[in-house]
Chain A
Amino acid sequence: MARRANEPAVWFLFGTGGFVAGYLLPVHILFYGILFPLGIFKDPGYQATLTVFEHPLARLYLVVLCFFGFFHAAHRLRLTLVDFLRVKHLENVLGLILYSGAAIGTLFAIYLASVV
């Protein structure tokens, strides 16, 4: 039971990440993934989009979205794969791979936020 000590922290990340990704990602997919590529709405283009992402709040937004979103996805995928593939014995290896991926994604977001 000792390993439960970190669970509240993990759950805070996981729960908040579920809301952050759930509130913000659908509108990103809707515009950048569907409506702009289909030409239903006019894409504002390179310069205008760059100007938005250069704003300090937009950089913070990118880092927060990636940090919470990636850790939410990693945690949930770990639990799901263990149930789905029934590989309880691989849980720690899976966790290591998935959380490392989440950390790399977050670090890349911090790097991009600092250079954009």
Chain B
Amino acid sequence: MASYPQDQPREYHRDLSNWWWLGRFNYLKFILREFSSVFVAYFLIVTLAQVCALTRGPAAYAAFRAHMQHPLVILLNIVALAFLVLHTITWSKLVPKAFFPRSHGHPLPEMTTALPSYIIWAVATIVVAAIILGA
């Protein structure tokens, strides 16, 4: 039986540039949204460093605060805050949508499904801010 290598199924391979995520605004938004996780990890580490400094006494905590006052650190934190806000808004829009029942076969409007999440975010922010400021 003759074989016909040209008829063998070949793996479909699409050429994709390493810069595919710059191709469309939606791709860029996707990548920015996903990379918010880097800033989540970053500020968790900062928070651990803060508590670590607290356990080591007033001098260590003063050094931590001096580090946080460096202009580049403040700039980094402003960028981190922007990414976190992007994360919380997109997460609130995306995840609850999956848990809400559909009304008459149609998904509920995004504002309705995201609203409870925004309210929880606002309450959590006010409570934590009150504790931080009242410290």
Contact, CB under 8 Å: B47 / A28: yes
The contact of A34 among B16, B78, B95, B121, by CB within 8 Å, is: B78
Query: For A44, what are the chain B residues with a Cβ–Cβ distance below 8 Å?
Result: 132-135
Contact, CB under 8 Å: A25 / B44: yes
Q: Which of A21, A48, A52 has the most CB of B within 10 A?
A: A21
**Within residues 28 to 52 of chain B, which ones have a CB less than 8 A from any CB in chain A?**
31, 34-35, 37-38, 40-41, 43-48, 50-52
The contact of B48 among A19, A21, A109, by CB within 8 Å, is: A109
Kindly state the interface size class of chain B when it binds its partner. 35 or more
Query: For B50, what are the chain A residues with a Cβ–Cβ distance below 8 Å?
Result: 32
Contact, CB under 8 Å: B43 / A28: yes
Contact, CB under 8 Å: A73 / B47: no
Q: Mark A9-44, 1 if CB is under 8 A from B, else 0.
A: 000000100110111111111111110111001011
* CB of B91 within 8 Å of the partner chain: yes
Number of A-B contacts (CB under 8 A): 155
* CB of B112 within 8 Å of the partner chain: no
Contact, CB under 8 Å: A49 / B43: no
Interface of A, secondary structure class, is helix
The contact of A73 among B38, B78, B80, B117, by CB within 8 Å, is: B38
Minimum distance in angstroms from B47 CB to a CB of chain A = 6
Of all chain B residues, the one with the shortest Cβ separation from A79 is: B34
Contact, CB under 8 Å: A112 / B48: yes
Contact, CB under 8 Å: B31 / A80: yes
Alpha-carbon distance between A77 and B77 when the two chains are bound, in angstroms: 19
**Within residues 45 to 69 of chain B, which ones have a CB less than 8 A from any CB in chain A?**
45-48, 50-52, 54-55, 58, 61-62, 65, 68-69
Minimum distance in angstroms from A19 CB to a CB of chain B = 7
Query: For B95, what are the chain A residues with a Cβ–Cβ distance below 8 Å?
Result: 15, 18-19
Query: For A53, what are the chain B residues with a Cβ–Cβ distance below 8 Å?
Result: 51, 54
Query: For B52, what are the chain A residues with a Cβ–Cβ distance below 8 Å?
Result: 112
Q: Can you report 7 A-B residue pairs in the complex whose CB atoms are below 8 A from each other? A: A23-B124, A27-B125, A29-B81, A37-B68, A51-B135, A65-B47, A79-B34
Give the 10 A-B residue pairs with the shortest CB-CB distance, closest first.
A33-B77, A22-B88, A44-B135, A76-B37, A80-B34, A73-B41, A73-B37, A23-B124, A48-B135, A73-B40
